[in-house]
């Protein structure tokens, strides 16, 4: 059974304090790993797709990386507007998309 575990559940940072969110996964035959951002009262917003170990994607202050067992979402010099819940999801061969429970990020000014 495909499993996705995100850590920490919640993270509080000061503005400018860089950190990383973790997404550990156990799947057979990874076809893709996806990061989403979800603001309160809204649906998830797609951020990145990663397909294989060693791949990296960047968007503004966010950078996603992946190994064979986990993915990281690095946040560099975050701003309060980066506060949101970040979701990770994996797609494996012959199965459906599996989402993690998310990491709730709060960035204080």
Partner 1 sequence: DAGITQSPRHKVTETGTPVTLRCHQTENHRYMYWYRQDPGHGLRLIHYSYGVKDTDKGEVSDGYSVSRSKTEDFLLTLESATSSQTSVYFCAISSGVWQAKPNTFGSGTRLTVV
Is residue 98 at the binding interface for partner 1, with CB under 8 A as the rule?
A: yes
Residue 88 φ/ψ, nearest 5 degrees: -115, 145
For residue 79, what are the β-bridge partners? none
Does the bond joining 8 to the residue before it have cis omega, within 30 degrees of 0?
Answer: yes
> What Cα–Cα distance (Å) separates residue 94 from each residue in 2, 5, 29, 90?
11, 20, 9, 12
Does 47 contact partner 1 by CB under 8 A? no
Q: Where does this chain touch partner 1 (CB under 8 A) — which range of 11-19, 44-52, 58-66, 70-78?
A: 44-52
What one-character DSSP code corresponds to residue 80?
Answer: G
Nearer to partner 1, 49 or 83 (CB): 49
Q: Compute CA 33 distance to the chain's CA centroid, rounded to the nearest angstrom.
A: 9
Measured from the CB atom, is 41 or 109 closer to partner 1? 41
Output the smallest distance, CB 88 to partner 1, in A: 9
CB of residue 46 vs partner 1: minimum separation in angstroms?
6
User: According to the binding rule CB under 8 A, does residue 13 interact with partner 1?
Assistant: no
């Amino acid at each position: 059974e495909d499993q996705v575990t995100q850590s920490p559940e919640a993270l509080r940072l000061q503005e400018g304090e860089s950190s990383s969110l973790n997404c550990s996964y156990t799947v057979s035959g990874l076809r893709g790993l996806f990061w989403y951002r979800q603001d309160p009262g809204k649906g998830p917003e797609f951020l990145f797709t990663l397909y294989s170990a060693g791949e990296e994607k960047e968007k503004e202050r966010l950078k996603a990386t992946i190994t064979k067992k986990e993915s990281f979402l690095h946040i560099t010099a975050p701003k309060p507007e980066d506060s949101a819940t970040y979701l990770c999801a994996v797609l494996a061969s012959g199965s459906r998309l599996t989402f993690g429970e998310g990491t709730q990020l709060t960035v204080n000014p």
